[in-house]
């Protein structure tokens, strides 16, 4: 679940901030930090992986070259990776030969790359709005309907734009005009069952390789709901596919058989790999010690029949913990038969005394066999995660040349602002990843056992400096009467991985639980081998309370911030953004940046603040940047497109220099990844501007599409 923006802990200051208005925008900007937390999964254990069909690969423990013997069990590898590389598979290029934007990240490789070059760095300034569409499915939360959060990538397939809405309707639009072709209402409950808001991240698309003439559902669009139903519709007509599950609807909650505290919400559309639907789920963070344990389901795309399941936690840990789920999209290398799972942390999020044994698949990137679900390799990026730093974005797959050697690689962005780069076939380091000692706590939290080391990448360098406590922003401190300085003095911080504490105002967390990088992930230009990533710089405070103190302190929670009980654990928790009484961030800007990396060397090519933050309705200077939710897209025309910022603007940047080349104002922050497509010879760029109340108190229902003027 996401972390809501919070005010200073002193009740008087909270009251003052409330009177000034909860939209105190920079606080809103602060809100992005929790957002990712809200869908988060939990930790995992390699031995728990299961398949309903015979395993096709052996699983063996291996250690990274930088790890000690004691830590070697944190990585799981395969003994037959060389056999896998030489397997007799039909050639399937990593980068599609034709322009493709038929999934959440554009392509299964999660590169968010288009080979279209009609729009270039030279002419992108001429872009004009060619159509827009309003779904009507929007709520600001002021009435009986919860607020909406709309992060749906517009999917282009079958010469159609497909979208899903936060009211759980599927809509098909003409890609050239925006005219509605058909719509379907799932009649799903408009209740925030597992999230503080109504949320939708779009749809998935599948088509038969050899379609049967005259038969329905040879092309299918899928969408899930918060109440754990997965719908399958004929992509041409919008009619339910009667041969899929129960007349077109699959009850995912039928498999919710352990600690069923909430439904297995299908907010992220399934990842379609060949004829398989790879399905994860979202739940509630911070609420319980014991929770539904994370499971990934492989389903037959035609019938919805269960093929295999993946469990990230051991049977023993599943009994006393939970989550370690996959709540975001996945990526896949079809030619090598590998599916890549970004696995989240286990429950409860901020205390791990109930799960002190190793859980190597939790907070990891885990590669599994597409056909069986068998683990091929796994790299854990946070040992014994007690910071809610689950892996929140699909790894981006790429072929890169390093020191003259071609490497089949992937880059995994994390909430910590780290970018881990490994060989996607073996999980081995491309640049060294080092196990380094980390803080061991102040002794105030009973039952906790801390990991002695954590993995740190040597290249690329961290996207933000977490080695020292961020500097207090003088402007915010002055306007707050020294409040920020006093807060900083009362926060524990020993660098990255400072454990939660019961003392003072708690521990300073930087970056926040929503993440230095969020679910939008990394975009990649395979020609120049340039990676593009947006990053937020947000400071939070984390404090644990014993049960008696928690009951006295609990003053409620918002959208991804405030107090949460971790029911069943000895400690409740409070998570807040570090602001003064005016809602201004206490740390120095910039609050968000766009960064380009040369993947030949792992070095930064350029970086620049992106977007403008808002406070009380006023835009702040763009040199301060904005926190961002949602990711970039990159094209062969040398252009990077992104929304994502508080100011609700859509922007284009030069891939080569980082110069801003174009912008336009949208209805609300475009917190979904944009899509790039070609229709009838014309190139288009599409954005969903739906907003997210974690980022800013502004929501929308707009699909807006741009193209160059017709000659």
Match 């990843």 to its residue by tokens. 433
For residue 126, CA distances in Å to 129, 421, 661, 663, 666 come to 10, 37, 10, 10, 17
DSSP 8-class letter at 63: -
What size, in residues, is the chain?
Answer: 711
- Dihedral of CA 52/55/58/64: which sign? negative
Q: Which residues lie closer than 8 Å to 59 by C-beta, 6 or more apart?
A: 46, 49, 76, 78, 374, 375, 376
Distances in Å between the Cα of 532 and the Cα atoms of 525, 635, 648 are: 8, 11, 20
Q: Which distant-in-sequence residues (6+ apart) come within 8 Å of 22 by Cβ? A: 558, 697
Residue-wise DSSP of 242-306: TTTTBTTEEEGGGG--SS-SS--B--SPPEEETTEEEE--B--SSSBSS-PBPEEEEEETTT--E
**For residues 509 and 387, what is the distance between their CA atoms, to the nearest angstrom?**
8
Place of tokens 């206490």: 586
Alpha carbon distances (Å) from 466 to 470, 471, 474, 494, 509: 8, 11, 19, 9, 9
Residue 388: active-site member: yes
Q: If DSSP codes are grouped into helix, strand and coil, which group holds residue 649? A: strand
Catalytic: which of 39, 45, 388, 512? 388
Containing H/E element for 475? helix 474-479
Taking residue 185's Cβ as centre, other Cβ atoms within 10 Å add up to 12
Closest by Cα among 279, 295, 377 to 48: 295
> Nearest-CA neighbor of 342 among 545, 581, 104, 27?
104
Between the alpha carbon of residue 586 and those of residues 27, 117, 471, 558, 561, the distances in Å are: 10, 43, 8, 20, 17
Other beta carbons within 10 Å of 679 = 17
Query: What residues form DSSP beta bridges with 233?
Result: 221, 240
Tell me the catalytic residues.
Answer: 388
């Amino acid at each position: 679940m996401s972390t809501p923006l919070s005010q200073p802990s002193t009740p008087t200051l909270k009251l003052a901030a409330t009177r000034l208005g909860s939209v105190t925008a920079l606080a809103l900007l602060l809100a992005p930090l929790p957002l990712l937390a809200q869908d988060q999964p939990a930790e995992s254990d390699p031995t728990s992986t299961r398949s309903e069909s015979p395993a096709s690969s052996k699983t063996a423990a291996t250690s990274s070259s930088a790890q000690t013997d004691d830590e070697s069990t944190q990585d799981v590898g395969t003994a037959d990776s060389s056999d896998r590389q030489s397997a007799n598979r039909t050639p399937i290029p990593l980068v599609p030969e034709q322009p493709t934007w038929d999934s959440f990240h554009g392509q299964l490789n999660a590169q968010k790359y288009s080979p279209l070059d009609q729009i270039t760095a030279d002419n992108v300034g001429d872009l004009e709005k060619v159509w827009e569409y309003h779904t009507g499915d929007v709520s600001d939360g002021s009435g009986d309907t919860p607020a909406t959060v709309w992060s749906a990538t517009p999917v282009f397939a079958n010469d159609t734009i497909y979208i899903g809405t936060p009211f759980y309707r599927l809509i098909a639009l003409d890609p050239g005009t925006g005219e509605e072709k058909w719509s379907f209402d799932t009649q799903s409950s408009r209740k925030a069952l597992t999230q503080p808001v109504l949320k939708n991240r779009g749809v998935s698309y599948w088509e038969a390789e050899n379609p049967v003439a005259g038969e329905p559902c040879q092309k299918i669009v899928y969408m899930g709901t918060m109440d754990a139903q997965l719908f399958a519709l004929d992509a041409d007509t919008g009619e339910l596919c009667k041969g899929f599950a129960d007349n077109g609807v699959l009850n995912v909650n039928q498999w919710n058989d352990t600690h069923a505290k909430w439904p297995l919400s299908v907010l992220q559309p399934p990842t379609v790999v060949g004829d398989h639907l790879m399905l994860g789920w979202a739940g509630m963070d911070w609420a319980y010690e014991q929770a539904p344990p994370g499971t990934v389901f492989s389903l037959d795309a035609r019938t919805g029949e269960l093929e295999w399941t993946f469990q990230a936690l051991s049977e023993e840990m599943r009994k006393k913990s939970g989550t370690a789920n996959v709540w975001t999209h996945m990526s896949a290398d079809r030619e090598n038969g590998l599916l890549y799972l970004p696995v989240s942390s286990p429950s409860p999020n901020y205390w791990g005394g109930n799960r002190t044994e190793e859980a190597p698949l939790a907070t990891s990137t885990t590669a599994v066999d597409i056909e069986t679900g068998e683990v091929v390799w796994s790299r854990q990026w946070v040992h014994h995660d007690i910071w809610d730093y689950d892996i929140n974005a699909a790894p981006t797959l790429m072929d890169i040349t390093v020191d003259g050697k071609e490497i089949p690689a992937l880059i995994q962005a994390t909430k910590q602002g780290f970018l881990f780069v490994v060989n996607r076939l073996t999980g081995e380091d491309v640049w060294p990843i080092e196990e380094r000692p980390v803080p061991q706590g102040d002794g105030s939290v009973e039952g906790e056992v801390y990991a002695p080391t954590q993995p740190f990448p040597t290249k690329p360098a961290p996207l933000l400096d977490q080695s020292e406590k961020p500097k207090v922003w003088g402007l915010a401190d002055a306007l707050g009467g020294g409040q920020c300085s006093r807060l900083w003095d009362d926060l524990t911080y020993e660098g990255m991985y400072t454990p939660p504490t019961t003392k003072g105002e708690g521990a300073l967390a930087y970056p926040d639980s929503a993440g230095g990088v969020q679910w939008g992930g990394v975009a990649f230009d395979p020609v120049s081998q340039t990676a593009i990533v947006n990053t937020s710089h947000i400071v939070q405070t984390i404090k644990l309370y014993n049960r008696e103190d928690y009951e006295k302190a609990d003053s409620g929670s918002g959208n991804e911030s405030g107090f949460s009980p971790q029911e069943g654990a000895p400690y409740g928790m409070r998570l807040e953004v570090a602001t003064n009484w005016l809602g201004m961030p206490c740390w120095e800007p910039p609050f968000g940046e766009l960064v380009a990396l040369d993947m030949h060397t792992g070095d930064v090519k350029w970086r620049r603040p992106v977007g403008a933050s808002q406070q009380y309705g006023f835009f702040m200077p763009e040199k301060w940047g904005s926190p961002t939710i949602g990711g970039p897209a990159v094209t062969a025309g040398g252009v990077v497109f992104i929304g994502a910022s508080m100011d609700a603007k859509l922007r284009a940047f030069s891939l080569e220099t980082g110069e801003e080349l174009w912008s336009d104002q949208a209805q609300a922050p475009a917190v979904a990844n944009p899509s790039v497509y070609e229709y009838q010879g014309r190139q288009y760029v599409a954005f969903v501007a739906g907003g997210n109340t974690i980022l800013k108190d502004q929501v929308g229902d707009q699909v807006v599409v741009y193209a160059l003027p017709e000659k």
